[in-house]
Amino acid sequence: MLGFIAMAVIAGMLVGLSRQINGRLALSTSAMESSFWNHIVGLVFITAVALMTGGLFAGDPWAAPWWAWLGGPIGVIFIAAGSWLIPRIGAARTAMLIIAGQMVSGVVLDLVMGAPGSGIARAAGVALIFAGLWIARTDENA
Amino acid sequence: MPGAPSSSWISFLAAFGAGGLLTLMILFNGTLAMHGSLFFSSWVPHLTGTFAALGLLLVLRPPRAASVRPPLWAYLGGVSGAVTVMLTSAAMNTALALSGTIALGLAGQVLFSLFADMRGFLGLPQRNPTRRDFISILLIMAGSLIIIFYGGVT
């Protein structure tokens, strides 16, 4: 169990590491170029691992709805945004604001899709997040 | 807020908006993973993303920030991102479940970013988080944990 906990925590750390490395690349190139390298290097890496383990085309991926294929271009903007932000506002603020946006939009998406869940918990969570955003926003050192 | 650069508002909104993009990405890639393999659901967005980024580079032609070549390791961010997908998928099929995996991942991300800021890790600007930063992080993490464990976000 401890091993799985470590895996989940390390996965989160790697998100930060990836953003830090891409941000460093953007300092020498540009945010969009760092996003390009992130994608092509990731593509080569995943292809290599998938060739070793096999099963890349398992299942019936062609049955997925058309919009499920659109994650790539969105990811390009997401990675470029992270690379642009991290030297400007720092790693912690970048992570914190992205998490806030992810959580609030996740609640909105769940409401739109009618996903089951506690309304009170969602409202309390969003309220705490907005309080945190407000405190970050009124920081004179921002 | 006198003296505050107006660009900080743009950064603030951009980062919050990027979080919204992340939700869409997870929805799209997750839907792909329900039909195909997990590798496929990460391979396809990397493939289409490579072409999308190439197209945007050709159209926008952003200027290079420095004439000095970046160190070679600076090109390896994509490896770290790809390993994240593999670790996350392995962890969420255990007793941790999706909620626990997300919560621990957020904790890892926040701790790493605080450390990275304080050390100026990998050549990015060094900065010390303020007391308000810590309060803000605690509030956002508390809100996130409530949503993850009690709000039904998947």
Distance from CA of B114 to the nearest CA of A (A): 5
Backbone φ, ψ for residue A59 (5° rounding): 80, -160
Residues A112/B144/B87/A95 CA torsion (nearest 10 deg): 100
Mind listing the pLDDT tens digit for each residue in A28-64? Answer: 999 999 999 999 999 999 999 999 998 889 989 899 9
- The DSSP-derived string for B96-109 is THHHHHHHHHHHHH
Provide, as residue numbers in chain A, all residues whose Cβ is less than 8 Å from the Cβ of B54. Answer: 36
Q: What is the pLDDT of residue B65?
A: 86
Site from B57, B147, B150, B154 to mutate, A interface, most A CB atoms within 10 angstroms: B147
Task: Test B135 with A132 for CB contact under 8 angstroms.
Answer: yes
**Cα angle B138, B142, B143; round to 5:** 120
Q: Which of A96-100, B66-70, B71-75 has the lowest mean pLDDT?
A: B66-70
Q: What is the mean pLDDT of chain A?
A: 93
Instruction: Please tell me which of the candidates B64, B71, B152 has its beta carbon nearest to residue A116.
Output: B152
**Span B115-128, mean pLDDT?**
96
Provide, as residue numbers in chain A, all residues whose Cβ is less than 8 Å from the Cβ of B92. Answer: 8
Closest CA to A49 of B40, B30, B48: B40
Q: What is the pLDDT of residue B8?
A: 83
Instruction: Please tell me which of the candidates A56, A74, A140 has its beta carbon nearest to residue B37.
Output: A56
**Span A88-109, mean pLDDT?**
95
Q: What is the pLDDT of residue B5?
A: 53
Instruction: Please tell me which of the candidates A75, A81, A106 has its beta carbon nearest to residue B153.
Output: A106
The pLDDT-based confidence of B95 (bands split at 50, 70, 90) is confident
Provide, as residue numbers in chain A, all residues whose Cβ is less than 8 Å from the Cβ of B107. Answer: 9, 12
What pTM value is reported for the model?
0.93
pLDDT at position A105 over 90: yes
Site from A5, A17, A137, A141 to mutate, B interface, most B CB atoms within 10 angstroms: A17
Mind listing the pLDDT tens digit for each residue in A6-30? Answer: 999 999 999 999 999 999 999 999 9
Question: Burial level of A92, CB count in 10 A (0-12/13-18/19+)?
Answer: buried
Determine contact: B59 vs chain A, CB below 8 A.
Answer: no
Q: What is the pLDDT of residue A92?
A: 96
Q: What is the pLDDT of residue B90?
A: 82
Q: What is the pLDDT of residue B6?
A: 57
Mind listing the pLDDT tens digit for each residue in B4-43? Answer: 455 688 999 999 999 999 999 999 998 999 899 889 999 9
Q: Complex ipTM, two decimals?
A: 0.92
pLDDT at position B2 over 70: no
Question: Which range has highest mean pLDDT (A107-111, B5-9, B55-59)?
Answer: B55-59
For A118, the token pair is 């506690």
Q: What percent of chain A has pLDDT over 90?
A: 82
Q: Report CA-CA distances (Å) from B10 to A85, A100, B5, B6, B44.
A: 10, 16, 10, 7, 31
Q: What is the mean pLDDT of chain B?
A: 90
Q: What is the pLDDT of residue A55?
A: 86
The pLDDT-based confidence of B1 (bands split at 50, 70, 90) is very low
Q: A 76-135 residues with CB below 8 A of B? A: 76-82, 84-107, 109-110, 115-118, 121-122, 124-129, 131-133, 135
For A69, the token pair is 């294929």
